[in-house]
């Protein structure tokens, strides 16, 4: 039975071991399964961001799904920000061989940049092992700005926010839509995307490459029926606030 693989983004609160704050990263040096040596702090000092997924191979469908949920977000940021996101997977208890990790990657179409056999110490430092454990480290100050057990569709917007912070694009970490109480529905959407707010706004829809493909002024809804199935970003500009988020067109 194949795992359920879906890719969509929604606006949500950051839920993880660290809510809206950064924690110090622990440095590591490891050789990946292709024989290339990596040092975490050296990569962060070079302006790169490191996404670490610590995985179980047997019976961990959430580990596979997490990789697919994260893939379009990684693609978006690497397309728009000079391939600065490095996505690495680690065996959770140091017992897996490189051949096992490589087979797991190939069989499940995982698009990680490198694989490592030693993930147990990393997991222990950040509070233990989930299914999977997801970490994002960035900045020359060597901070982890995302640390969570498990990963699903409702976590994707917060991962994007963590990338923004790790890349230095924002100084605000994991803040939900600034319009308190605003809801965006339905999500996934087939035709009309509604924005439950007290005023109208100018709405822009962007694709994963960041290109604006739809615009509508002075409204609280937009018809996306003609868009192909996939992931999209929206931006709102109203008289008293601005906001952005993500949705799936089905």
Q: Domain with 232 in it: what CATH number?
A: 2.60.40.3080
Do 243 and 132 reside in the same domain of the chain?
A: no
Residue 16 lies in a domain: no
Q: Are residues 38 and 143 in the same domain?
A: yes
**244 exposure class (CB count in 10 Å sphere: 0-12, 13-18, 19+):** middle
10 part of a folded domain: no
For residue 201, being part of any structural domain is answered with: yes
pLDDT at position 3: 40
Q: Are residues 208 and 242 in the same domain?
A: yes
DSSP state of 180: T
Q: Are residues 54 and 120 both part of a single domain?
A: yes
pLDDT value at position 20? 44
Q: How many residues does the chain have?
A: 250
pTM for this model (two decimals): 0.66
Q: What is the pLDDT of residue 14?
A: 30
Q: Is residue 178 part of a domain?
A: no
* pLDDT on residue 22: 74
59 in the same domain as 133? yes
The domain of 126 spans 23-166
Same domain, 150 and 205: no
Same domain, 141 and 187: no
- 3-state percent breakdown (helix, strand, coil) of the chain, nearest 5: 20, 30, 45
**Phi, psi values for residue 36, rounded to 5°:** -100, 130
Domain count for the chain: 2
Asked whether residue 131 is domain-assigned, the answer is yes
**159 and 207 in a common domain:** no
Residue 123 sits in a domain whose CATH number is: 3.40.30.10
CB 16, CB 146: distance < 8 Å: yes
Within this chain, do residues 147 and 191 fall inside the same structural domain, yes or no? no
Domain termination site, one of 166, 200, 223: 166
Q: Which residue has the tokens 């092992």?
A: 129
Closest CA to 159 of 75, 237, 229, 64: 75
Boundary-marking domain end, from 166, 199, 224: 166
User: In this structure, is residue 171 part of a structural domain?
Assistant: no
- Where does the chain have alpha helices with state H? 40-45, 61-80, 98-107, 120-125, 156-166
In a domain, 148, yes or no: yes
Q: Specify if 11 maps to a domain.
A: no
Question: Residue 23 — φ and ψ, nearest 5°?
Answer: -130, 155
Per run of 10 residues, the mean pLDDT along the chain (length 250 residues) is: 35 33 88 98 98 92 93 94 97 95 96 96 88 94 91 83 92 54 79 89 86 92 92 82 77
- According to the model, what pLDDT value does residue 21 have? 54
**Residues 70, 194: one domain?**
no
Report pLDDT for 6.
Answer: 35
């Amino acid at each position: 039975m194949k795992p359920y693989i879906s890719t969509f983004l929604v606006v949500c609160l950051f839920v993880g071991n660290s809510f809206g704050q950064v924690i110090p990263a622990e440095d590591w040096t490891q050789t990946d399964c292709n024989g290339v040596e990596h040092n975490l702090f050296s990569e962060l000092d070079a302006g790169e961001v490191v996404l670490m997924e610590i995985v179980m191979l047997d019976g961990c469908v959430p580990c596979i799904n997490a990789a697919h949920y994260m893939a379009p977000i990684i693609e978006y940021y690497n397309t728009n920000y000079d391939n600065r996101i490095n996505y690495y997977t680690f065996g959770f208890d140091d017992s897996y061989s490189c051949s096992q990790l490589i087979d797991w990657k190939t069989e499940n179409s995982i698009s990680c940049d490198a694989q490592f056999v030693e993930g147990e110490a990393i997991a222990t430092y950040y509070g233990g092992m989930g299914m999977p454990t997801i970490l994002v480290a960035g900045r020359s100050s060597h901070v982890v700005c995302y640390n969570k057990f498990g990963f699903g569709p409702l976590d994707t917007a917060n991962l994007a926010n963590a990338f923004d912070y790790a890349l230095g694009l924002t100084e605000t970490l994991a803040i939900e839509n600034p319009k308190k109480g605003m809801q965006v529905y339905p999500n996934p959407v087939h035709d009309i995307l509604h924005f439950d707010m007290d005023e109208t706004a100018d709405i822009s829809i962007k694709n994963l490459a960041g290109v604006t493909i739809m615009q509508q002024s002075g409204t609280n809804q937009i018809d996306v029926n003609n868009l192909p199935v996939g992931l999209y970003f929206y931006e709102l500009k109203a008289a008293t606030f601005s906001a952005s988020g993500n949705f799936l067109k089905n």
